[in-house]
Amino acid sequence: MKVLVTGGAGFIGANFVQQTVRERAGAHVTVLDALTYAGDRGSLAPVAERVELVEGSITDAALVDRLVSESDVVVHFAAESHNDNSLDDPSPFVQTNLVGTFTLLEAVRKHGTRFHHISTDEVYGDLELDDPAKFTPETPYNPSSPYSSTKAGSDLLVRAWVRSFGVPATISNCSNNYGPYQHIEKFIPRQITNLIDGVRPRLYGAGLNVRDWIHVEDHNAAVWAIIDKGQIGETYLIGADGEKNNLDVVRTLLELFGRDADDFDHVADRPGHDMRYAIDATRLRDELGWSPRYTRFHDGLAATIDWYRANEAWWRPAKAAVEAKYARTGQ
């Protein structure tokens, strides 16, 4: 099977490529990645000899057409992915998330290629802290940020291309991932690398916002379950019942580093900050038989800390610039 992975040099995509090469002997993987600030060849180093990396943009129609014509399945991870960056400059989010997804859809339409679109639970907006509800595939779209609105738009493009043109596509909307190779602009790796440097973690606002954490390997196992057994045209929500507020996550990290429970700072809140995300993954569990392997968040975090300690050369070059950018917004 020839698999084209867009965004395969980013966090989730690189883990997907590594898992695919490890677990699927018959798969031939090509990665299309623009190697933006979030993409890193080094994230594919362990499998470099078994993967073809094409440096280019998903908005390049001629390149996308050629690569899609040579593929059996396209797994579309490429995106601008960070909410804080989308508040600073939404423009690349519109280009990559909307125009890039459109460009891929036109190519898979022309070649009749199986397409799986990776999306986020943020398309549903947020929930109140005391709401017993979780997101389901029927929850109305209500995105809050430039990031989540461009992801919502990309999902709607996929749905329209399925219905209007019969494109053989599926969509998955996943909750917050953690694990190795996550960019240090994101919450968990930012705090881990701060703690390695002896710097106090930074909590936006009161820290009561809830995220539904899932290990990246569990996300990617679900993606393969959908590609193998999912129904064309369906949306699957991916989540592992991992709701935690940000304060609890910081306190767990402090405990794992042997630091005092109050050894962190509150900083400026994110404008429009979503309060809570929570996924109901019943369809994925019941129809496709998926279940998460990482059920103990504490252990998953400890392993993630070990990875960042052992791979300082991977993240260190970006650290000063990431922190300088946060300093400009008081975060």
Give the active site residues: 121-122, 147
What residues are paired with 204 via a beta bridge?
267
Nearest in space to 226 (alpha carbons), one of 100, 104, 68, 115: 115
Burial annotation 156-171 (CB, 10 A radius, 16+ → b, else e): ebbbebbeeeebbbbb
DSSP letters, 177-212, are EESTT--TTSHHHHHHHHHHTTPPPEEETTS--EEE
Cα 40 off chain centre by: 15
Which of the choices ligand DAU, ligand NAD, none does residue 59 contact, using the CB cut-off of 5 to 8 A by kind? ligand NAD
E strands along 66-168, which residues?
A: 73-76, 114-120
| Residue number with CB closer to ligand NAD (70 or 260) | 70
Please, what is the minimum distance in Å from the beta carbon of residue 111 to ligand DAU? 28
Measure the CA angle with vertex 91, ends 88 and 95; round to 5°. 145
| 4 CB-near residues (< 8 Å, 6+ apart) | 30, 31, 32, 67, 68, 70, 71, 73, 74, 75
Nearest in space to 244 (alpha carbons), one of 280, 274, 214: 214
| Residue number with CB closer to ligand NAD (183 or 190) | 183
Residues 176/214, Cβ–Cβ less than 8 Å: yes
Considering only residues 136 through 175, tell me which ones interact with ligand NAD, judged by CB under 6 A.
151, 174
- Considering only 33, 40, 122, 218, the residue that binds ligand DAU (CB under 6 A) is 122
Residue whose C-beta lies closest to ligand NAD: 10
What residues are paired with 265 via a beta bridge?
202
Q: What spatial distance separates the first Cα and last Cα of the chain, rounded to whole Å?
A: 45
| Residue number with CB closer to ligand DAU (80 or 109) | 80
215 binds ligand NAD (CB under 6 A): no
Considering only residues 254 through 293, tell me which ones interact with ligand DAU, judged by CB under 6 A.
270, 277
Please, what is the minimum distance in Å from the beta carbon of residue 191 to ligand NAD? 15
* Range in contact with ligand NAD (rule: CB under 6 A) among 9-17, 63-71, 103-111, 229-237: 9-17
Conformation bin of residue 181: beta by default, left when phi > 0, alpha when psi is -120 to 50 = left
Which of the choices ligand DAU, ligand NAD, none does residue 104 contact, using the CB cut-off of 5 to 8 A by kind? none
- 3-class DSSP state of 113: coil
Which of the choices ligand DAU, ligand NAD, none does residue 36 contact, using the CB cut-off of 5 to 8 A by kind? ligand NAD
| Residue number with CB closer to ligand NAD (109 or 215) | 215
- Considering only 235, 246, 294, 315, the residue that binds ligand DAU (CB under 6 A) is 246
Work out whether the CA dihedral 295, 299, 303, 304 comes out positive or negative: positive
Considering only residues 173 through 202, tell me which ones interact with ligand NAD, judged by CB under 6 A.
174, 176-177, 183
Please, what is the minimum distance in Å from the beta carbon of residue 266 to ligand DAU? 9
- Considering only 58, 68, 192, 223, the residue that binds ligand NAD (CB under 6 A) is 58
202 binds ligand DAU (CB under 6 A): yes
Which of the choices ligand NAD, ligand DAU, none does residue 96 contact, using the CB cut-off of 5 to 8 A by kind? ligand NAD
Nearest in space to 172 (alpha carbons), one of 30, 11, 281: 281
- Considering only 4, 11, 192, 278, the residue that binds ligand NAD (CB under 6 A) is 11
Amino acid found at 159: R
- Considering only 118, 169, 195, 222, the residue that binds ligand NAD (CB under 6 A) is 118
Please, what is the minimum distance in Å from the beta carbon of residue 319 to ligand NAD? 16
Residues 254/263, Cβ–Cβ less than 8 Å: yes
Residues 171/238, Cβ–Cβ less than 8 Å: no
Binding region for ligand DAU (CB under 6 A):
81-83, 120-122, 175-176, 186-187, 190, 202-204, 209, 211, 246, 270, 277
Binding site for ligand NAD (CB under 6 A): 6-7, 9-13, 32-36, 38-39, 57-59, 77-81, 96, 100, 118, 120, 151, 174, 176-177, 183
